[in-house]
Amino acid sequence: METVAVVGASRDRRKYGNKAVRGFRHAGYRVAPINPSGGAIEGLQSYPSLRDVPYAIDMASFYVAPEIGVQLVDEVAGLGIPTLWLNPGADGPDVVRRARELGLEPVIGCSMIGIGESPANY
């Protein structure tokens, strides 16, 4: 089972950071919600940062503003996470540039659509 870290996971079911948690779970992924507040999101333990997840992560999907994402790309590269999705609104030019500087090739687009799910269903 592949593991996805939803960076910017939210408790608010109207937000894409929550829809992604539900959508990835529905598609069969192990989901690690990343939220600096911690606590549970959709019944899953969330983690304050990618470094706090106690198991390997196959994919990080960003649902954070670019000014936050640009600070987190180094964690993705440092942890050796092979796939980085920059969802609409998280795909600022500074984030893309920093990811490429670190040797990552970010996937720019909606990660839920990429796995065959629709945010409209959640």
Could you tell me the pTM of the whole model?
Answer: 0.95
Q: Identify the CA nearest to 20 among candidates 87, 105, 73, 108.
A: 87
Q: In which residue ranges of the chain is pLDDT below 50?
A: none
67 membership: H or E segment, kind and range: helix 66-78
Calpha distance 122→22 (Å, rounded): 7
Q: In Å, how far are 33, 55, 57, 73, 105 from 100, measured between CA atoms?
A: 24, 25, 19, 10, 6
Q: What is the pLDDT of residue 38?
A: 84
Residue-wise pLDDT for 24-55, tens only, equals: 999 999 999 999 998 999 999 999 999 999 99
User: What domains are there in the chain, each with its CATH number?
Assistant: 3-121 (3.40.50.720)
Calpha distance 40→17 (Å, rounded): 13
